[in-house]
Amino acid sequence: MQNTSLSQANPTSEDTSKPRKARGPKWWIDFLVDLAGIYLFVVRFFKDLFRPPYEFKEVLNQCYIIGYKTLPLIAFTAYIGGIVFTRQSRPSLESFGAVSWLPSLVGVGIIRSLGPLIAGLIGAGKIASNIGAELGSMKVTEQIDAMEVSGTNPFTFLVITRVLACSLMLPILVIFTDILALLGGFTNVYFGEGVSFSLYFSQAFSTIEMEDIFASTLKSVLFGFSIGIIGCYKGFTSKKGTVGVGKAANSSVVMSMFMVFVIDLFTLQIMTFIRNILYS
């Protein structure tokens, strides 16, 4: 039963080993097969999400690895990103005497776009590669098959827990990214213009609205979900051998990063649509 359901959700793991008779370039066929596989993976995720057994402990364990362990890297990157973004924005504002608008610009830039993007990309690099490599090595060493044999649902234990942890931790990581990037911006503005902490944060949030926070949170949940799903899918569908593991990790990162930008654009369009409805 477990085996059947897994093979349904993961058609490429078994079927791709057989010679295909499809027409067109190979990368195009692979892309379509991946797309279909991910779609079935997502469908199965939502099917199994509310079906027992619930692996709470494993979810917490994954939250610790995905959230807490990723924090130092994301925090450092966000702080530096904030400083660089502020520093690079200053000359443009200086050219028409609007340096006092720097906190507002930094606030809008970080909350709306830069913060989620930094967290998403760093998450894609660290988390997706980690999941892809971990599940890939479990696949090639037949641990997943062993789990099935021992009566544990590998999808629930490995996939749902990781995807859930990613979806829950990414928003928190985005909040940390926003705050630390704003602190980086404050460092630069403080040493540049001597703006006080309270004035900086007051100005930084003066043009931010609730919709921006909603968009940022929605975006980060989708980033986490896509990173988790892609990492798990690539790990689950990795081919035999160590090369397959490396390839799974690599393609997880590449596809996750690509999806981060696609989701960024997607949420932007959704938010523009929502804003138009709200303000019309």
Question: By C-beta, is 137 or 203 nearer to another protein?
Answer: 203
Q: Least distance (Å) from another protein to the CB of residue 54?
A: 17
Residues found near another protein in the complex (CB under 8 A): 60-61, 63-64, 67-68, 71, 96, 98, 111, 171-173, 175-176, 178-179, 201-202, 205-206, 208-210, 212-213, 278-279
Q: How far is the CB of 58 from another protein (least distance, A)?
A: 12
Nearer to another protein among residue 221 and residue 259 (C-beta) = 221
Closest C-alpha to 61, from 134, 117, 139: 134
Question: Residue 141 or residue 206: which is nearer to another protein going by CB?
Answer: 206
Select 75 or 222, whichever has its Cβ closest to another protein: 75
Residues 51 and 19: beta-carbon distance below 8 Å: no
Between 22 and 278, name the residue whose CB sits nearer to another protein.
Answer: 278
Cα 233 to the center of its chain, rounded Å: 14
**Could you identify the residue written with the tokens 């993976």?**
41
Shortest reach from residue 1's CB to another protein, in Å: 31
Instruction: Work out how close the CB of 271 gets to another protein at its nearest, in angstroms, rounded to a whole number.
Output: 14
Separation of alpha carbons 119 and 77, rounded Å = 9
Burial 57-94 (b: 16+ CB within 10 A, else e): ebbeebbebbbeebbeebbebbbebbbebbeebbeeee
> Considering the complex, what minimum distance in angstroms separates the CB of residue 228 from another protein?
17
Nearest distance, CB of residue 207 and another protein, angstroms: 8
Terminal C-alpha separation, the chain: 52
Calculate the dihedral angle through the C-alpha atoms of 123, 124, 130, 132, rounding to the nearest 10 degrees.
Answer: 150
Min dist CB 195 to another protein, Å, is: 16
Question: Is the CB of 74 or the CB of 230 nearer to another protein?
Answer: 74
Q: Is residue 79 within 8 Å of 179, Cβ to Cβ?
A: no
Closest CA to 246 of 101, 169, 137: 137
**Residue closer to another protein, measured from CB, 176 or 233:** 176
Q: Which is nearer to another protein, 116 or 171 (CB)?
A: 171
Percent helix, percent strand, percent coil in the chain, to nearest 5? 85, 0, 15
Q: Would you state the structure tokens that stand for residue 62, as one six-digit string?
A: 């994954």
The dihedral over CA atoms of 231, 234, 236, 238, expressed in degrees to the nearest 10, equals: -140
Q: For the CB of residue 188, give the shortest distance to another protein in the complex, in Å.
A: 20
The dihedral built from the CA positions of residue 206, 209, 213 and 218, taken in this order, carries a sign that is negative
